[in-house]
């Protein structure tokens, strides 16, 4: 099975970290439910065009944190995780995404006030479209 993981070509974030975060998001978001078999380290390395050293590191970290489990001879599976952990992953991924957006804006020389304005505009247009859907 192919996982919907996409590695960024211009990110400073190490690849193993990108894999960890995206897998956590898929698990916390419920796209990958407990018990789902994950690709072997070799197969995921092929799909993502990376070495098994990197993939193994990501899998080991995720296993230590309790997101996945490996059973000898059977493979790797999504683990049962607590709702509190799921919430935590969601919160931190939302924070990270917004932080990244702010970083991008700062790189383009926007002031914090300008960024706040953009942010509110995005929220306003979201509200509008949600209200329209509600009608």
Partner 1 sequence: MKAWLEISDLQKKIDDDFQLGPIDLRIVPGTITALVGNNGSGKSTLLKLIMNLANPDVGNIKVFGKFVYGQDESWKNQISYLPQTRIGWDAYSGNTLKRLIAPIYPNWDDALFIQIVELFNIPLNKPYRKLSQGIQQKLSLALTIPRNTPLLLLDEPTSFMDMPSKKQFVDLVVDWMDQDERAIIIASHQAEDIRKLSDYLCVIQNGKHVGTFEKETLTEHYMRYWIHGAFPEQRIPGEVTREKHQLISNDPAATENFLLKNNVTWTDRSKLDLEDIVSHLLNAGKEG
Residue ranges in contact with partner 1 by CB under 8 A? 9-10, 14-15, 40, 42-43, 45-46, 49-54
Closest CA to 16 of 43, 39, 38, 44: 44
Least Å distance, CB 98 to partner 1, is: 22
Least Å distance, CB 120 to partner 1, is: 28
Residues 54, 16: Cα–Cα separation, whole Å = 6
Nearer to partner 1, 15 or 119 (CB): 15
Nearer to partner 1, 18 or 27 (CB): 18
Least Å distance, CB 67 to partner 1, is: 22
- What sign does the CA torsion over 70, 74, 75, 77 have? negative
Residues 20, 55: Cα–Cα separation, whole Å = 9
φ/ψ of 76, rounded to 5, equals -115, 140
Nearer to partner 1, 83 or 109 (CB): 109
Nearer to partner 1, 47 or 63 (CB): 47
Least Å distance, CB 14 to partner 1, is: 7
φ/ψ of 54, rounded to 5, equals -70, -45
């Amino acid at each position: 099975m192919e996982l919907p993981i996409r590695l960024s070509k211009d990110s400073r974030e190490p690849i193993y970290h990108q894999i960890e975060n995206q897998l956590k998001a898929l698990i916390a978001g419920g796209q990958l439910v407990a018990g789902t078999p994950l690709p072997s380290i070799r197969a995921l390395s092929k799909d993502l065009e990376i070495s098994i050293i990197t993939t193994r590191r990501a899998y080991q970290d995720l296993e230590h944190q309790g997101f996945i489990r490996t059973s000898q001879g059977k493979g790797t599976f999504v683990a049962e995780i607590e709702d509190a952990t799921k919430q935590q992953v969601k919160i931190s991924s939302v924070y990270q995404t917004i932080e990244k957006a702010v970083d991008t804006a700062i790189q383009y020389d926007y002031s914090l006030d300008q960024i706040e304005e953009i942010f509110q505009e995005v929220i306003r247009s979201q509200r509008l479209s949600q209200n329209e859907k509600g009608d």
